[in-house]
Structure 1
């Protein structure tokens, strides 16, 4: 039996699901592919990911991708200053992508469109898409993220970031008016966005939480040995290390918290595990017992073998997958209130939230000491139970299934 066609547009290849945006987009893709012939259009901004194209083709009816040269994209982005657009629109505009979208829409009489990220909405704003059901997953209120960046900058950078905040906010509001539904990664994000919409658009806005693959992030799963994991006690931060919010978090922790922790536990190491570390992050590895791994094949050993996980984010929107993954693996963690936003897990001994350096450091020290004392016994943290109750993909994607009139029992299960 033929399935109806659906156009799925994504600003980054949604495979492998090894970082925040790709985890969410891939799980949504999996669900929609079960019920539609998905025509997937996306960009590949990291040459490393091109090896996964054939595997991704198994998860859609047709795949069209464009390799994105970041330098060229930045140059295109600068044309926004001549047009009054947000930088992200010309940054992600590609003539071949636009042509493919038009051809797919015409040839297959597309009636359903799913757009992941506001930068891809520009490909389905023409008249022929007006009669389609268009759903956009903004994920985060990106414009507000630029506002946060601007607060921490000065001079030209502050001007550029403030401009992007204002122009992107106007574009986000325009897309919300045009599309049938606007999705966000948490009720908090949805509430923030809804508060600035006209009354006739407010009902279109809803939050759809991220989930966790609780089978993969399972403390009982057997893992292959990982040579880079330190032999002695260590704490970890995990995440893409070319992402500004992660870079800011690690630099803040290294300067304000790590010296206090290290003074109290001299044998401890700090592992920064994630791909594409910036030069600022690489330079931290010159400090004693700070390890910058770069890209790793499997992030789980850096979580399961750590004494605790730290998530000291100060600039954040949405839900942090790094926190969900650590909780699913039943690890103790210390995070800022920004990192816990949208998750709303109850605070207890093994799930602590602090924003001040001294309090953050004290919590880390207590958890590391507790882990060392409990090394020979099972550590029950309650964190995994919270994830299983609230953050499985089957549960979190149920509202999206309802939008597409898919029975909730048919949503991806784990």
Structure 2
């Protein structure tokens, strides 16, 4: 089976949510002998030097990429107001990239073409013109929902109104595109329900992030206790907003619980403002070389998201690493987990305080939750079972 996957970022190395989802999708399909061609937009902001990729998965696919400046431009944003396009989406389209894709489609016949995320969809018209393949849209989240939720927490009126404007444009684009495919893959059940409410008339299946559990090896002897940690890309506004809330509203009281308690903060594109929190008890590390090693070395994972959509891949990775995770309902949305069994849910400063207190005074409790989390993750997010189910849907589509 020949599969073309379109992405709006190069999924190598798999070191954050979107790349991990795409990378493991490719890895799982390769194990089933699918022939994979990958076409990636390579944004300047997240640019990957493709000559430096040394990965067995990369070696087993046909790869094409196009470097593109997708950064927000003030004049582009202003002129866009007078158009009918979503500025968030249009920044990922380029005529030269479309021509490169056209050449790939002219030279190859694919059975399935999968669009990974909304920002790959601007190339749908090109694909429809030059290919007869079955088309799948993989919704990594409900994009406009992220911007709507952000606008609700924005206090500066002009910025709030612009966020609302962006959300409306995104919603219009997102809902108009869903019925142009043969199949939709949602990242979670809540997202599936949202897509159906948009008026989706085609089949929607849930395909969450898949993990290769051979990669997630835990070593209890290297875990430092008592420690809390947060790991996430800090140029993603929901992460930044949630961490600020935790540090300002919750951490001052938590810090008093135990003089030896440390809170470690790590992630790509760490904002300068977070280094200002660095102290004896708050350690801001920035980007770490090995996320799995970092997760293994700490005890309790803190995920204080107040907005967002989709599925938090870092929570699934934390579960795979037997971590006790304390997260908001928003952060855990769409993840198979149960409060008190394989995760702790906290939505207010008081709930976070009590959950953290419970964990650091009762080490048996957080270890038990971590063990249950690993079992839950293995049951629901295994790369082999998810890839097989996806491959079966490909076959069904082709045979229709």
Confirm or deny a common fold (TM above 0.5). yes
1:337 aligns with 2:329: yes
Which residues in structure 2 correspond to 1:349-360 (within 5 Å)? 351-360=343-352
Distance in structure 1 (CA, Å) of the matches to 2:177 and 2:354: 45
Which residues in structure 2 correspond to 1:356-371 (within 5 Å)? 356-371=348-363
Residues 1:174 and 1:248: Cα distance change in structure 2 (over 3 Å) = same
Q: Is the contact between residue 41 and residue 97 of structure 1 (CA under 8 Å) also seen in structure 2?
A: no
Q: Is the contact between residue 208 and residue 381 of structure 2 (CA under 8 Å) also seen in structure 1?
A: yes
Aligned-partner SS, 1:382:
helix
Distance in structure 2 (CA, Å) of the matches to 1:273 and 1:204: 39
1:19 aligns with 2:16: yes
Distance in structure 1 (CA, Å) of the matches to 2:368 and 2:162: 51
Gaps in structure 1 of 5+ consecutive residues:
224-228, 407-414
Alignment-derived partner of residue 25 in structure 2? 28
Distance in structure 2 (CA, Å) of the matches to 1:40 and 1:60: 14
Alignment-derived partner of residue 174 in structure 1? 176
Distance in structure 2 (CA, Å) of the matches to 1:335 and 1:239: 13
Distance in structure 1 (CA, Å) of the matches to 2:73 and 2:205: 31
Aligned-partner SS, 1:245:
helix
Alignment-derived partner of residue 105 in structure 2? 105
Shift of 1:29: 2.1
Shift of 1:241: 1.4
Alpha-carbon displacement from aligned partner over 1:270-308 (angstroms, at most 9, x marks no partner): 1111111112323222x4421111111112233222231
Distance in structure 2 (CA, Å) of the matches to 1:172 and 1:69: 22
Distance in structure 2 (CA, Å) of the matches to 1:361 and 1:149: 25
Deviates more, 1:56-65 or 1:128-137: 56-65
Alignment-derived partner of residue 258 in structure 2? 265
Distance in structure 2 (CA, Å) of the matches to 1:350 and 1:329: 12
Q: Is the contact between residue 275 and residue 295 of structure 1 (CA under 8 Å) also seen in structure 2?
A: yes
Deviates more, 1:346-355 or 1:357-366: 346-355
Aligned-partner SS, 2:362:
helix
Shift of 1:103: 1.2
Alignment-derived partner of residue 254 in structure 1? 247
Q: Is the contact between residue 184 and residue 203 of structure 2 (CA under 8 Å) also seen in structure 1?
A: yes
Alignment-derived partner of residue 269 in structure 2? 276
Residues 1:143 and 1:72: Cα distance change in structure 2 (over 3 Å) = closer
Alpha-carbon displacement from aligned partner over 1:215-261 (angstroms, at most 9, x marks no partner): 112214998xxxxx9x7732100111111111111111101111111
Residues 1:54 and 1:356: Cα distance change in structure 2 (over 3 Å) = closer
Q: Is the contact between residue 288 and residue 294 of structure 2 (CA under 8 Å) also seen in structure 1?
A: no
Alpha-carbon displacement from aligned partner over 1:370-393 (angstroms, at most 9, x marks no partner): 23x899x99963211111111112
1:144 aligns with 2:120: no
Gaps in structure 2 of 5+ consecutive residues:
none
Q: Is the contact between residue 8 and residue 92 of structure 2 (CA under 8 Å) also seen in structure 1?
A: yes
Alignment-derived partner of residue 304 in structure 1? 296
Distance in structure 1 (CA, Å) of the matches to 2:248 and 2:213: 34
Q: Is the contact between residue 331 and residue 350 of structure 1 (CA under 8 Å) also seen in structure 2?
A: no
Which of 185, 188, 194 is residue 192 of structure 1 equivalent to? 194
Aligned-partner SS, 2:395:
coil
1:84 aligns with 2:84: yes
Query: How many residues are paired up?
Result: 392
Distance in structure 1 (CA, Å) of the matches to 2:365 and 2:193: 41
Q: Quick one: higher RCO (CA 8 Å, sep 6+), 1 or 2?
A: 2
Shift of 1:404: 1.1
Distance in structure 2 (CA, Å) of the matches to 1:116 and 1:380: 31
Deviates more, 1:255-264 or 1:86-95: 86-95
Q: Is the contact between residue 334 and residue 353 of structure 1 (CA under 8 Å) also seen in structure 2?
A: yes
